[in-house]
């Protein structure tokens, strides 16, 4: 499968490629969640849901492997260091009770993936205590078990958990593509900078492309 991308064509065999959707959680995307309590405009993140949903539907129809991640901590916060919990001196911290339950705690309502992108049976769901999808998770082993060598990314936020996960993947030998209209930041200029960094110097971290390019490649497959 060949996808029209920058800095050049991204080539990936469908059977060895996974779609990875990063942290499309209620607490980050929906009004009243953690993201909004930090003073962010969650409408920016909500705007990518239709394009992401269309990609997920097409990828499932093609039989591709799907991976969902959630930023999630244990109820006792033993996997959340103070340096993370206290960062930025927010009014509500990780583990505190917010409008959707305890913030970024596994199993709480706000920690769940939004309904429009809810995982289906058989899809991989990773709860990660850090920003990257590979840190302190079993993702590497799951991908190896499924024979995956290429990753297509979407999710939030571009410059934090998405870019961190792509850099982790790059260091582990995966070829990675970011879907530009299926990722977003609370700060649009951060998204643009992250996209430029990812594809700089001949794709130092990976490739980027609009989701239309993936749809076209799937139709041609």
pLDDT, tens digit, 9 for 90 and up, residues 165-194: 999 999 999 999 999 999 999 999 999 999
Q: Which are the contacts of 185, defined by CB distance < 8 A and separation ≥ 6? A: 44, 156, 157, 158, 159, 160, 191, 194
Give the rounded percent of residues in the chain with a pLDDT score beyond 90. 90
pLDDT, tens digit, 9 for 90 and up, residues 142-157: 999 999 999 999 999 9
Nearest CA among 122, 127, 184, 110 for reference residue 153: 184
Q: Which range among 36-45, 85-94, 194-203 has the greatest average pLDDT?
A: 194-203
Average confidence (pLDDT) over 118-137:
98
Among the listed residues 12, 27, 80, 128, the single catalytic one is 128
Question: CA 36, CA 186: separation in Å to the nearest integer?
Answer: 10
Q: Is 128 a catalytic residue?
A: yes
pTM: 0.97
Distances (CA, A) of 26 to 35, 111, 161: 9, 6, 15
Average confidence (pLDDT) over 74-92:
87
Q: Is 80 a catalytic residue?
A: no
Among the listed residues 12, 80, 161, 182, the single catalytic one is 161
Band of residue 32 on the pLDDT scale cut at 50, 70, 90 = confident
Among the listed residues 23, 27, 80, 191, the single catalytic one is 23
The sign of the dihedral angle between the CA atoms of 17, 198, 58, 68 is: positive
- Average of per-residue pLDDT values in the chain: 96
Q: Is 182 a catalytic residue?
A: no
């Amino acid at each position: 499968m060949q996808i029209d991308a920058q800095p050049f064509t991204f080539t990936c065999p469908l059977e060895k490629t996974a779609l990875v959707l990063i942290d499309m959680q209620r607490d980050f995307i929906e009004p009243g969640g953690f993201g909004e309590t930090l003073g962010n405009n969650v409408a920016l993140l909500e705007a990518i849901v239709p394009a992401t949903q269309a990609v997920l539907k097409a990828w499932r129809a093609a039989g591709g492997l799907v991976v969902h991640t959630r930023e999630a901590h244990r109820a006792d916060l033993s996997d959340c260091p103070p340096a993370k919990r206290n960062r930025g001196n927010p009014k509500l911290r990780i583990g505190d009770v917010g409008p959707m339950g305890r913030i970024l705690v596994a199993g709480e309502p706000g920690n769940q993936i939004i309904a429009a992108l809810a995982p289906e049976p058989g899809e991989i769901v990773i709860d990660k205590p850090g920003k990257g999808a590979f840190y302190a998770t079993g993702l590497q082993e799951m991908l190896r078990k499924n024979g995956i060598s290429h990753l297509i990314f979407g999710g939030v936020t571009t410059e934090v958990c998405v870019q961190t996960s792509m850099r982790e993947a790059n260091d582990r030998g995966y070829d990675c593509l970011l879907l530009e209209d299926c990722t977003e930041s609370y700060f649009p200029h951060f998204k643009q900078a992250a996209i430029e960094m990812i594809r700089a110097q001949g794709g130092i971290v990976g490739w980027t492309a609009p989701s239309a390019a993936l749809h076209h490649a799937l139709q041609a497959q």
